[in-house]
Homo-oligomer: A and B are copies of this chain.
Amino acid sequence: MAMIRNAPPTAHGRTYTASSLKEVAFPLGGIGTGTVSLGGRGQLRDWEIFNRPAKGKNLPCTFFALWCRPEGEVPIARILERRLLPPFVADRGLSPWAVSGLPRLEEARFRGTYPVAEIAFADGTLPLEVELEAFTPFTPFDDRTSGMPVAIFLWRLRNPGPRAIEATLVYSQLNPIGYDGVEALLRGRRHPMFGGNLNRWSSEGGMRGIRMSRPEFDQTHPGAGSLAIATPWPRVTFSEHWERSGWFDDIQNFWDDLRADGRLPETAEGTPSPAGETDVGSLGALARIESGATVEIPFVLTWHLPNLVNYWGPLETLPGQSVVGQRMRNWYTCQWPDAWAVAKEVCGRLPELTAETRAFRDELFASTLPEPVLDAVSSQMSIIRTTTCLRTEDGRLHGFEGCDDNAGCCPMNCTHVWNYEQTLAFLFPQLERSVRLTDYESNTLPDGEQKFRTMLPLLPDVVWNYVAAADGQMGTLLKLYREWLISSDDVYLRRLWPQAKKTLAFAWKHWDPDRDGVMEGEQHNTYDIEFYGPNTMCGALYLGALRAAEEMARYLGDPDADEYARIYASGRERLDRELWNGEYYRQTVRSPGPNESLKHLYPARHPSAIREGEPEPRYQYGPGCLADQLLGQWFAHVVGLGHLLPQEHVREAARSIYRHNFRPSVEAHESCQRAYAVNEEAALLLCTWPHGGRPRYPFPYADECWTGSEYAVAGLLLYEGCVEEGVAVVQGVRARHDGIRRNPWNEFECGNHYARALSSWALLLALSGYEYHGPRGHLRFAPQVAQDDFRCLFTAGRAWGSVTIRGTRAALAIRGGELRLRTLEIGSRTYSFDPPRTVAAGEVIEVG
């Protein structure tokens, strides 16, 4: 069919150059492997592979360099990075171990289209044109391929000149085995942590490289493991280890050696480094590049650091239940024996892995969605492959809320923050399902109370010792429903349903004792405080949970379905009647009665909202316009449950949030809280009081803006047809992440790579008018944009591909997996397939 075209060879995406390269750090690494980031200048930064976040931790003596000599001319050598950007401040001068004093390239243009980053360098003196493409293999649903501990670097060198050029492209890498991810390595190879580090030159099959290890380490040592640098390139030169000498002799000797003839010593001796220092290995690819020719030289960096030690807590535990210090094993290290084995697989599968990763990226960016939406969806997808997510030996995925610069933050699987997350659920649903197992089988008590954080490792009867979260607990029911819709896995649903039911029953015990569908009790929530009295923030999630429970119960033949429906209907009516103020849904603040608070039973994390002499609890929003007031509605849209509250009120509320809370500039905004937008930046505030009534001490975070929440509001706006407004909100967020002010691949909130921003996937769903009901074999698209020439990536079940809609014709091209459909709804038309139609990768369904 003519209308199905290939995506353009280089997809679009924002580019960054000059000063906007400063904050760029594009994470490379697989699911649960940690990352190393590619900086905007082409440098490797933020080495977060050592089983903890490590922003700002750089490995010394680790860089790419190029030597080249046009025939008959003098050679030239450069560090393959764009020149340093100011400030140039360091108490002892810029580090020699970062080769700060060696010449670099003049300019770079960075294009990041996650999962692929590309840099085009420019330099007036270099006789070669240099480009870098870097990525970690990525394929939806394939968690093994997408979970490889590897960074792949494809260097393209083009010779635009008249004469052939001899070139050596060298990758130098510190052997970091034993590094704790915490210390600043200020003295290059030298640190008391190091010693006995072993670099071994190896050439095996179609691959050459350096294996880095530390044989003396016991396998249970937290730092045990290996690392490798390798290339399938046939002609190589290498230095197994730099000169083991003091001062700057090691770098000087390496540089002078390379500088002279483009060759390194090529001596393989395999001796370990002395105590107190490690070694640097260098691997160079030799190429002769004829006039007009281009070569593409691949390098891979792989790592294998098995031992994940819980340093993070959580700390509120019952006596004897602390998990701090307990050791786990990373799932990825159970898939390969060591880093060298990963490198072998990667080099062996390189064309396939490259093609698959590019195919996903190209398809995503070939979409006709507005640019800021694509930017948000793609860039924040990276969160599932940062240190925010762990994957333990049992195959389960776990997530922090986000990561402080050097430690995971707010462990683990926090149900209320992960309420906003959608990306993982649609790209790697099997991993998402594993979190529900943990939610319901490890964290749900017999009375249905669900602990909203997870203790790791998972141990029988060990749970976090803290109050339940109303929003998180209700959201989890919506998630379970989603996982079932996506997987069509009845066994899974039946397994978790009894526990899931209990969590609703718990709501009737503590939040809605009169079962009228309105939560009134002490509702701990994602603002780290408790709401008292009816509100739609927790309330709409409760309605959504009731609807989801009703759907699942009916499917399973559970007679409680009717009771869920009754409570839902009652709640919907009362919430709307009591809280609708004509513009949006407010909160009714209600002081808790004596003994109504559960919170005092738990360790103090934050001060109480209840103060002697104050008539109302602190930290409420009352008549305010809360950004998250219809979070439950947003989630209901994602899972196709329709309007939980009257459609016209939902739509008006969405518009009101935009009208009152979106600021094209925050320069006049006054906040005594944390700042995520400043000066003339645009932001959507968590809460405003357009008609007064702001409490003296509003809930914490009220005056902040959170990207994850902004995306959820934007998603709601899009679902409600307010496309311009929704895109404006997204545009505001992404404009704040411009490389000068913030890293486009790191939206931080309470931690870097904050999970809440994974709400961005729903932007794509909303604009596609996407709905998928696996058990029914139903798929729907009803584009909100570019209706006459629409194209978008989608996932459904375990298939992914693209939908293309032109006028009355539509085509679904399956790029991976298999899709089974009974009905396909495109806009207002429904196409039925009887018997159901099954399409596999490479196949296309055309309708219209």
Chain A positions near chain B (C-beta within 8 angstroms): 22-23, 55, 77, 83-84, 86-96, 99-103, 245-249, 251-253, 255-256, 259, 402-405, 409, 606-607, 618-619, 667-676, 678-679, 696-697, 700, 703-704, 736, 740-743, 748-752
Q: Is the CB of B89 within 8 A of A678?
A: no
CB distance from A583 to the nearest CB of B (A): 25
Q: A83-B679, A89-B741 given. 20 additional CB < 8 A pairs?
A: A23-B87, A23-B89, A77-B670, A88-B675, A91-B405, A91-B751, A92-B674, A94-B674, A95-B674, A96-B671, A96-B674, A96-B675, A100-B674, A101-B678, A102-B670, A103-B670, A246-B607, A247-B700, A256-B696, A259-B670
Q: Which residues of B contact A246 (CB under 8 A)?
A: 606-607
Q: Is the CB of A671 within 8 A of B22?
A: no
Q: Which residues of B contact A103 (CB under 8 A)?
A: 667-670
In the complex with contacts A102-B671, A672-B252, A91-B678 CB distance below 8 A: no
Q: Which residues of B contact A669 (CB under 8 A)?
A: 101, 103
A–B pairs, 10, beta carbons within 8 Å: A92-B404, A92-B674, A101-B671, A101-B674, A248-B672, A251-B672, A252-B672, A252-B696, A253-B696, A259-B670
Q: Which of these, B83, B101, B668, B697, contacts A247 with CB under 8 Å?
A: B697
A88, A405, A669, A673 interface centre (most CB from chain B within 10 Å): A88
Q: Is the CB of A670 within 8 A of B255?
A: yes
Compute how far the CA of A94 lies from the CA of B751 in the bound complex, rounded to whole angstroms: 11
Compute how far the CA of A260 lies from the CA of B103 in the bound complex, rounded to whole angstroms: 57
| Nearest 9 A/B pairs, CB to CB | A101-B671, A246-B607, A93-B674, A100-B675, A94-B675, A101-B675, A251-B672, A86-B741, A252-B672
Q: Which of these, B87, B403, B678, B703, contacts A741 with CB under 8 Å?
A: B87
In the complex with contacts A607-B247, A670-B101, A670-B102, A404-B679 CB distance below 8 A: no
Q: Which residues of B contact A96 (CB under 8 A)?
A: 671-675
CB distance from A92 to the nearest CB of B (A): 5
A259, A405, A676 interface centre (most CB from chain B within 10 Å): A676
Q: Which residues of B contact A102 (CB under 8 A)?
A: 670-672
Q: Is the CB of A704 within 8 A of B93?
A: yes
Q: Which residues of B contact A748 (CB under 8 A)?
A: 89-93
CB distance from A752 to the nearest CB of B (A): 5
Compute how far the CA of A451 lies from the CA of B248 in the bound complex, rounded to whole angstroms: 27
CB distance from A302 to the nearest CB of B (A): 28
Compute how far the CA of A198 lies from the CA of B780 in the bound complex, rounded to whole angstroms: 66
A101, A246, A742 interface centre (most CB from chain B within 10 Å): A101
CB distance from A759 to the nearest CB of B (A): 18
Q: Is the CB of A675 within 8 A of B93?
A: yes
CB distance from A80 to the nearest CB of B (A): 15
**Residue on B nearest A529 in the bound complex, by CB:** B247
Q: Which residues of B contact A259 (CB under 8 A)?
A: 670
**Residue on B nearest A751 in the bound complex, by CB:** B91
Compute how far the CA of A740 lies from the CA of B87 in the bound complex, rounded to whole angstroms: 6
Q: Which residues of B contact A90 (CB under 8 A)?
A: 748
CB distance from A606 to the nearest CB of B (A): 6
Q: Which residues of B contact A99 (CB under 8 A)?
A: 672
Q: Which residues of B contact A101 (CB under 8 A)?
A: 669-675, 678, 703-704
Q: Is the CB of B678 within 8 A of A88?
A: yes
